[in-house]
Chains A and B, each alone.
Chain A
């Protein structure tokens, strides 16, 4: 079955460490997105990529970095510069950069800074 796989489901990080969240899709979608969700809040866009080797900052990109070297993969690195990284991270994809075909979400990664 096609879909989006995020790993790991739970991640613990010590302060000052960088950590990378994985997102892989086998839907042959061009566009991929990273969102952050805090308790009681909606999803906020971190980064998005409409095509391989290209990506744009979302609304809360500070302290995060991404790469899009392959169509099926869009890893997110949470750097030590991110002041409050504890959150639920969701990856999504869409057929094209215009989102005409809707969006598919992964199951998320819950990151906790200890």
Chain B
């Protein structure tokens, strides 16, 4: 059975801290690993990772995929209160199915 597991489930940090969110996956016919940020309603897209070992960066956020270990991490440096959200990891199969993890709730305190 396909599954995606995220850790930790929740995290509280202070502004300026660096956080690392973890995602392990077991997805049949794996195609890509996606990260989303969900604040109130619709998840917003952060990264799509298809190749192992290549870091993707967007401002203070970065992510990398390890296809051998079936693992991905999302790093956020110099956290701000606006980073407070639920971060979702999803594994995509080549049939188009997205399998989501439980999400990590991040709270950044001033």
- Chain A contact residues, CB within 8 Å of chain B: 31, 33, 35, 40-45, 48, 50, 58, 90, 92, 94, 96-100, 102-108
Q: 4 additional contacts, CB 8 Å, given A50-B96, A92-B98?
A: A103-B34, A103-B45, A105-B42, A107-B42
**CA gap between A102 and B56 in the complex, in Å:** 15
Contact of B102 among A42, A105, A107 (CB under 8 A): A42
- Contact partners of A102 in chain B: CB under 8 A: 34, 45, 48
Nearest first, the 8 closest Cβ-Cβ pairs linking A and B are: A42-B100, A43-B100, A105-B42, A97-B96, A99-B96, A42-B102, A107-B41, A99-B92
Which B-chain residue is minimally distant from A105 (CB atoms)? B42
- Chain B contact residues, CB within 8 Å of chain A: 4, 6, 9, 31-32, 34, 36, 41-45, 48, 88, 90, 92, 94-103, 105
Which B-chain residue is minimally distant from A91 (CB atoms)? B42
**CA gap between A92 and B98 in the complex, in Å:** 10
Can you name 6 A-B pairs with beta carbons within 8 Å? Answer: A40-B9, A44-B100, A48-B96, A98-B95, A99-B92, A107-B42
Pair A99/B31 contact, Cβ less than 8 Å: yes
| Given A98-B31, A102-B48, A107-B42, residue A31 in contact with residue B96 (CB < 8 A) | yes
Min Cβ gap A5→B in Å is 11
Pair A41/B48 contact, Cβ less than 8 Å: no
- Contact partners of A92 in chain B: CB under 8 A: 98
Which B-chain residue is minimally distant from A90 (CB atoms)? B42
Contact of B41 among A35, A48, A94, A108 (CB under 8 A): A108
**CA gap between A48 and B98 in the complex, in Å:** 10
- Contact partners of B43 in chain A: CB under 8 A: 43, 90, 105
- Contact partners of A104 in chain B: CB under 8 A: 45
| Given A48-B96, A108-B41, residue A99 in contact with residue B88 (CB < 8 A) | no
- Contact partners of A108 in chain B: CB under 8 A: 41-42
Contact of A42 among B32, B45, B48, B88 (CB under 8 A): B88
Contact of A33 among B98, B102, B103 (CB under 8 A): B98
Which B-chain residue is minimally distant from A45 (CB atoms)? B97
